[in-house]
Structures are given as structure tokens and as C-alpha cells.
Chain A
Amino acid sequence: MLLSMSRNPEEPVYNRIEEVRASLGLSRQDLADKAGVHYQTIGYLEREEYSPSLVLALRIAKSLNQEVSELFSLTPFKKGK
């Protein structure tokens, strides 16, 4: 069906954005402002419904004072890491 085609058939990118953002006491809007994106894009990223470009991943990592490899992974993160 034309309108039921998968939006993101590629490999999912797992992340710890929500966990790190919460630990820093930032709202989605705060992080969105720092990373220069819409706050809903942060929501999509946290729900792993959108895979960021390398540039955006770097910007988010910088905004959260993390290394990209600590924030994003091709395999699921262990709980509480």
C-alpha cells in the first residue's frame, strides 16, 4: 500500500538522550534550543523514531556534555548505564 510504506526501514539508532537530559534537569525545549532543532524532534529522537544525522548527533552530544559514542549506539543500551 502506498501510504503504509515504512518511514524508517533502516537500522534503528538507540540513544540515552532522555536519561542524560533528565539527569541534567533539562526540558525537551531546553535541549532543542541548545541543539537548534524543534522540541518535537527531540521527542522523536528519544522515542528512537528518528535517526539523527551525524551533525545533529554531534550537536546533541555537545549540548549534553557527552561523547557521541556514550549517547548513541547501534545496539540497545543496558538499563541504568
Chain B
Amino acid sequence: MSKKNKIYWFEGVTEKGVKSLLNEEDSKFRWLRPQRNRRVLVILMAIGLVLTSMGSYWPTLKTNLNLSSEVGLIVYSITAIFVILATIGCYSFLRIAVRSIADAPDELLDERQIAVRNTSFRYAYFILGYVILALMVMMIFGPELQMFQSEGNNGSYVVIATLFACAALPSMVMAWRERDI
């Protein structure tokens, strides 16, 4: 009889999902585990975050590129969908690469894994401070942003990228730092 799969809503993981990733027998994602591959994923994720945030500045970029509004809209829509899906894909692979340790609750981890997760959150918090600082500098000195407006630079992409960064940074730090996961 199968045991009920507990869902950790706050952490966004399931008991079976984390246990399956922690189990080395599950070799489906072994190729993600070498530190080099994890670091490539972190770089791709960082590029995805930057590109997502750049979506807010598309109207300004479009003007600079001298694209017509029709061509601009098509390029913008295709690029936005591709970048966001690619970033979501990177984030999913990152979580798998670090066996969901960055998101798992204490009861599913051992004491070393808990220590690693906590250290990753500490570094992620520092880095997030710099991300917020960069955003503030961009908002002060960059092109003007507006929220939920059909015209002008739409600031919602910056918000989406920041939320992505909040969610992904602990996994990114862990994927970058840890020799063995």
C-alpha cells in the first residue's frame, strides 16, 4: 500500500519528490550533478534573469533598434515567451540538480544537508541585497518604468525577474558552491 505523499505547500515540494531526488538510485538526472554542469546551469539562470528583467526596457530598446511597431511586437512576444519558459526550465533543472535541498523542510534532510541549505540561504540573502541595490540604481538612473501600463516601459518584467531571483538564489548558490550534491 502506498504511503500518502505529503505536500509542503510553503516550501513548494512534496515528500516523495524530495526523497526520490535524494535517492542515488534515481539516476535519471545524474548528468546534472557534476559541479561543472551545475555551474553552467547557474550561469544560464543568471542570464535568464537578466534577459527577463530587460523585458521591461523593450520599448526603449525597440526604439533604439529602429524596429517598426509590428515587427517589434512579434519579436518582443516571441522573445518574452522563449526567455520566460527557458528561465522556468533552468529553475526546474536547478532544483533537481541540488536535489531540492534548498527548498526541502528539515524533516526530509540530515543535519549536514540542513547546514548546507542554511548557509546557501545566508549567501543568497547577501546576494539578493546586491540585486535589489542594482535594481534601485537602474530605477533611479535607467529609463522610466511604469507598472501595468500598455504604453512605455513595463516594470512588471523587473518584478518577475526579482521574484524569480528570490526563489532561485538559494539553489543557485548551492549549485555553485557544493562539490558533491
Partner of A3, one of B24, B115, B123: B123
Binary interface encoding of chain B residues 133-154 relative to chain A, with 1 for a CB under 8 A from any of its CBs, else 0 = 0000000000000000000000
- Let me know if A41 and B119 touch, CB within 8 A: no
Across-interface contacts of B109 in A (CB, < 8 A): 38
Question: Does B91 count as interface, using CB distance less than 8 angstroms?
Answer: no
Instruction: Report which of A2, A41, A55 forms a contact with B113, defined as CB distance below 8 A.
Output: A41
Tell me the bound Cα distance from A38 to B112 in angstroms.
Answer: 9
Knowing A3-B123, A7-B119, A43-B180, say if A38 contacts B22 (CB, 8 Å): yes
Give the B interface residue count (CB, 8 A): 17
Please give, as numbers and ranges, the residues of chain A lying within 8 Å of B112 by CB-CB distance.
37-38, 40-41, 44, 50
Closest to B99 in A: A38
> In the complex, are the beta carbons of B111 and A2 less than 8 A apart?
no
Interface string of A41-69 (1 = CB under 8 A from B): 10110000010110110000000000000
